[in-house]
Structure 1
């Protein structure tokens, strides 16, 4: 009953209805955090944009498809959560938040990022999983302080060579895309600690043993004929992950290549 009521009221843009959905926003929260997640919102209340000292703003799990330009007044905002909404276009006001370092935009309908995103000089964590990207958003390569990038469950087929510029990047999550080859640029980024290419279409993995910073590589659910060779102490998640490298290359590859077509297909789907 409560959710149905909120859903109905969300269509009525009166000030009284907005107060029902978000409460009476009169004073700055003491912890400088405002959580309006799951309120069935279709627009951001103007009152939320007047708290210029706000540090964290959670707007997850609503029905938002745009944000007002007044949002750029939150000059001290460091975290903005917009996942599980209805954004098809990236809200321009976000690019004018100079202290933003964590941005959640997963589970939307985005297919493009504006060039102005590079203005977010402090951004170190970017979540874009489960959107509609068919190409890697090139502007990401200009986010020089980025440490964590989540781009899983899109339709990306390759990564640009410019990604190597991100020398602060430590984890890249690319599960559920359309990669048919292990991205060569990742092998030029020895500082990476986590690589996730689970659920792609990669058939063969190169050696990653030269990547001194690597701690974890997830390559499960690929139609691969081998596992990536890694350095000592690196955890692998995927087929043959617990086998010694020599046994994996000698036995694993042969076992897959000589399997009947129907058996091979079953193995690839597991």
Structure 2
């Protein structure tokens, strides 16, 4: 009986109190109030943080969340929402009522689809959807006229969605590790394809992703080591500037 209770307690995740949440409040360098509850083993959205819904930034990344409640729309001042590295399978329509949102990070979840209402986030500038199970984007994404950067890496996209090809301010899009043909459509020549870096704990990655990360790190280390050796060889025979100056001064005298 006791073992059953212990298992149930572990499944529910860590309980966050209002006092804990208040202690997690921070002020950013640009004066924004940030509630940082990242990496705290939270499995259920803490209802107590609704009393702190006037914050401008909310970080719930690297937790165990499977669902975001409709009450998320009470965070009317929210400019940044970070939900990366959770277990989210769907997004609530209420998320689209965060009209002041500028940055939304949903990387490393289990999302397969996105709500059509996502297009209501007209002030969104940064959207990260990487490392999910997304096959297509809703056409309403074309309404995100302020979007600058879009992460779509490690999904199941077979082409670059048409809804992003004519976004006027989009300058960076990452579509790496999707089953997209290598020939890039001419319509997106103005968009810079980039690779982004996101820090996650090793235990948040599946075995395949972890192996790939380790292989990439080993390649990078070998490349840096080779560059360091080449640099030493290039400058090995140079005379110090001071010694050259001294010789020239002797000649002038």
Which structure 1 segments of 5+ residues have no match? 1-6, 199-270
Give 1:26 shift: 4.9
Please tell me whether residue 188 in structure 1 is matched to residue 187 in structure 2.
yes
Quick one: higher RCO (CA 8 Å, sep 6+), 1 or 2?
A: 2
- SS, match of residue 165 in structure 2: helix
Which structure 2 segments of 5+ residues have no match? 1-6, 28-32, 197-253
| Deviations, residues 187-208 of structure 1 (Å, cap 9, x unaligned) | 334543x21489xxxxxxxxxx
Higher relative helix content: 2
- Report the aligned-residue RMSD: 2.8
Structure-1-length-normalised TM-score? 0.62
Give 1:118 shift: 0.7
Do the aligned partners of 1:167 and 1:191 also contact (CA within 8 Å) in 2?
no
- Which is greater in Rg? 2
Do the aligned partners of 2:112 and 2:135 also contact (CA within 8 Å) in 1?
yes
Q: How many residues align?
A: 186
Match of residue 150 from structure 1: 151
Give 1:25 shift: 3.2
Q: How does 1:70-219 map to 2 (within 5 A)?
A: 70-184=71-185, 187-189=186-188, 191-192=190-191, 194-196=192-194
Q: In structure 2, how many angstroms separate the alpha carbons of the residues matched to 1:141 and 1:149?
A: 12
Q: How does 1:216-227 map to 2 (within 5 A)?
A: none
Do the aligned partners of 2:119 and 2:143 also contact (CA within 8 Å) in 1?
yes
Structure-2-length-normalised TM-score? 0.65
Q: In structure 1, how many angstroms separate the alpha carbons of the residues matched to 2:38 and 2:13?
A: 18
